[in-house]
Amino acid sequence: MFDAETLIDLGLSSHVISIWQVFLYIALMIPFLFLQRTNVCLMITYLFTYYLAFLIYWGELIATAGSLVPFFLYTFSGLAIVVLYVAASFYNRPEEKIRAQNPQR
């Protein structure tokens, strides 16, 4: 359909995603999909799309802004979501703790 040369001729060179990035995403997803770790798969997908959004859209915007404030806001919000995800993954509800201690119920 569209190859890289056609996109570059159209001036859409910033929208070309490197194939190694896609292979890295697939290589990270496959083991967790086989282990049925859907939460980890969702986090990998979130981080991949967050990175691509930065690479495609925000990189040019920050370069033209001349300030690092948008970069720090973007980075802080992404890291805050990852930290909240990690904190939530270690949280066990009280009912789950009781069931784990008394498997008869």
Number of structural domains the chain divides into? 1
- Rounded CA gap, 37 and 40, in Å? 6
For residue 37, the enclosing domain spans 4-101
Mean pLDDT across 22-43: 88
Note the pLDDT of residue 87. 83
Looking at residue 50, its pLDDT comes to 85
Whether 7 shows a pLDDT value over 60: the answer reads no
Task: Quick: pLDDT tens for 45-87.
Answer: 988 888 887 777 776 777 777 777 777 888 888 889 888 888 8
pTM of the model: 0.61
The answer to whether 38 and 31 are in contact (CB under 8 A) is no
pLDDT in tens, 9-24: 655 555 567 788 888 8
In this structure, the chain runs to a length of: 105
Instruction: Return the structure tokens found at 83.
Output: 């930290």
- Between CA 56 and CA 17 the distance in angstroms is 9
Report residue 66 as tokens.
């001349």
Instruction: Determine the Cα–Cα distance for residues 42 and 33; give it in Å rounded to an integer.
Output: 10
pLDDT at site 27: 93
Q: How far does CA 4 lie from the centroid of its chain?
A: 24
